[in-house]
Every structure is written in structure tokens, then in C-alpha cells.
């Protein structure tokens, strides 16, 4: 890994930067301390967030991989960098919801905290200019981003990720309320879990706490101005480390 060098900036998102490397089969992802919400209407710098999300994502990718979920993850380097396989990311935000929260409760009459059995799967069109809109089945089909067979594959993979993550996080006292994943195709056409899995992209509640604000250990602390954002992310890392001590270094 020490011989791998970082090249041109390929893409800058709200929370990460993606760089080419001198290997065509490896790209480097830098996790930033920037926090945004509501399509970047709310912004802040949260010192330490990037390193926490990089490490939490690395550990969760490794755990998912060990359970047969194909991911883009190759390893970490230093505290802010993750090395991943290049993927053609499908511009869909795939959200799995186990418990009602967030936008779901703003868009239909359902009390926050209501269990959703089976889990609810929502697709959003990932495009900031359109405000990442929720898609209907008909619009998803009309967009034709993937074939019907690929869509089935995406549904299956998202639900498998949910099953595995939910079980894993429950072991360390965390309730996986909902989460968003992004998926992509590798050069050889394999569907891979991409992007990140962190408290920026999941809702995580402390199972031992009943207070509806105190139990929040994810980006809702930032969205709702509850304070203690980085501390909450640190607590998530501590718990996740309880199941998997150190992420592998890319070599």
C-alpha cells in the first residue's frame, strides 16, 4: 500500500472526495469532516467525523463481506482514507426502513417508532438538482437506470444487507431504524455495495435508552440540533469495535 500513490480528484461529494490512484483497479476515498443536511441547506464542520465514519464504514463493510455481501471495500489507509474498487454507481438512494422515522413520518400518517414488518424499501433518485426525490415504481421504470432483473437483484441485496446489519448492530445494543445504501456495478458487471455505511447514512438508536432524543446516535443529532454529534458517532464506533476490533490495512 505504501507504494500506491493518490492521483487526480475524480469526484467531490458532500461528505467524501474520490481520487484516482496509480492503479486502475483501485480508487481512494477521503472522508471529510463536513456535515450537511436538507440538501446542504444546513452545513457544519465536525472535527473527527470523517475519521469516525471511515473506520465505522470499514468495519461494517468487512463484517458484511464476511457474511457474503459483495462490497467495493479493499481496506483503509491512515485514518481518513479508504481504498475501494472503482464502481459505476447507480444514481439511486436505496433506503431500507425497519422502524418509522424521518421523512416517512412527514409523508404519511405513521407514528415515529412504529415497527415496519416487513421492512419498507424506498428508492430515491440521487440528484441534488432535483432534491433526491422519492420514486414511484412507474417513475423508477421510466428512468430505466437498471433492468427489471437488476432491480430485483438490488432489492434482494438491500434486504440482505439489512438482515445482516440489523443482527450485527443488535449484538452491540444498537437498533437499526433505517439506512441508505448506494450500489454500483464493477467493470465485470458485479453488483457491489458502494459508498459508506455510517451514522451519516443510518439511523441508530441506543436500545438501552428510551428517551426519544437521548437514544439517537446518528446524524439526526445534527439535523435536529441535539448536540453531541461526534460523541454519538464515537459511541457507535466503540460499540462496533466490540464485534470487530481493527479494520484491515490495504496492501
**Which residues of this chain interact with ligand TMP, rule CB under 6 A?**
95, 102-104, 132, 178-180, 201-203
**Distance (Å) of CA 66 to CA 2, 21, 59, 61, 94:** 25, 26, 11, 9, 22
Question: In the bound complex, what is the minimum distance in angstroms from residue 102's beta carbon to ligand TMP?
Answer: 2
Return the number of the residue (34 or 132) whose C-beta is nearest ligand TMP.
132
Least distance between ligand TMP and beta carbon 119 (Å): 12
Q: How far is the CB of 92 from ligand TMP (least distance, A)?
A: 12
SS3 of 175-232: EEEEEEECEEECCCCCEEECCCCCCCCEEEEECCCCCCCCCECCCHHHHCCCCCHHHH
State whether residue 64 is helix, strand or coil. Answer: helix
Q: Which residue is nearest to ligand TMP (CB)?
A: 102
| CB-count burial class (<10 Å; 0-12, 13-18, 19+) for 162 | buried
In whole angstroms, the minimum distance from the beta carbon of 2 to ligand TMP comes to 33
Of 55 and 77, CB closest to ligand TMP: 55
CB nearer to ligand TMP: give 6 or 159: 159
As measured in angstroms, the least distance from the Cβ of 108 to ligand TMP is 12
Shortest distance in whole angstroms from residue 203 CB to ligand TMP: 4
Please give the grid coordinates belonging to residue 168.
450485527
Q: Which is nearer to ligand TMP, 77 or 194 (CB)?
A: 194
Q: Which is nearer to ligand TMP, 61 or 179 (CB)?
A: 179
Nearer to ligand TMP, 134 or 145 (CB): 134
Closest CA to 93 of 144, 36, 133: 133
Amino acid at each position: 500500500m505504501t507504494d500506491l500513490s493518490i492521483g487526480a480528484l475524480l469526484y467531490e461529494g458532500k461528505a467524501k472526495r474520490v481520487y484516482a490512484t496509480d492503479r486502475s483497479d483501485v480508487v481512494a476515498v477521503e472522508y471529510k469532516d463536513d456535515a450537511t443536511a436538507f440538501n446542504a441547506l444546513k452545513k457544519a464542520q465536525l472535527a473527527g467525523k470523517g475519521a469516525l465514519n471511515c473506520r465505522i464504514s470499514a468495519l461494517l463493510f468487512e463484517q458484511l463481506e464476511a457474511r457474503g455481501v459483495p462490497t467495493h471495500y479493499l481496506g483503509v489507509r491512515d485514518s481518513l482514507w479508504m481504498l475501494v474498487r472503482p464502481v459505476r454507481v447507480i444514481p439511486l438512494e436505496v433506503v431500507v426502513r425497519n422502524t418509522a422515522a424521518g421523512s416517512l413520518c412527514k409523508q404519511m400518517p405513521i407514528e415515529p417508532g412504529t415497527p415496519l414488518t416487513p421492512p419498507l424499501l424506498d428508492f430515491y433518485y440521487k440528484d441534488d438538482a432535483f432534491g433526491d426525490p422519492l420514486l414511484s415504481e412507474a417513475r423508477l421504470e421510466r428512468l430505466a437506470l437498471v433492468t427489471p432483473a437488476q432491480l430485483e437483484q438490488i432489492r434482494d441485496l438491500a434486504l440482505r444487507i439489512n438482515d445482516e446489519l440489523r443482527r450485527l448492530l443488535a449484538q452491540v445494543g444498537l437498533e437499526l431504524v433505517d439506512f441508505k445504501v448506494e450500489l454500483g456495478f464493477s467493470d465485470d458487471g458485479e453488483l457491489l455495495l458502494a459508498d459508506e455505511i455510517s451514522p451519516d447514512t443510518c439511523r441508530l438508536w441506543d436500545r438501552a435508552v428510551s428517551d426519544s432524543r437521548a437514544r439517537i446516535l446518528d446524524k439526526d443529532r445534527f439535523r435536529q440540533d441535539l448536540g453531541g454529534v461526534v460523541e454519538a458517532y464515537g459511541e457507535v464506533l466503540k460499540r462496533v469495535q466490540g464485534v470487530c476490533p481493527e479494520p484491515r490495512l490495504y496492501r
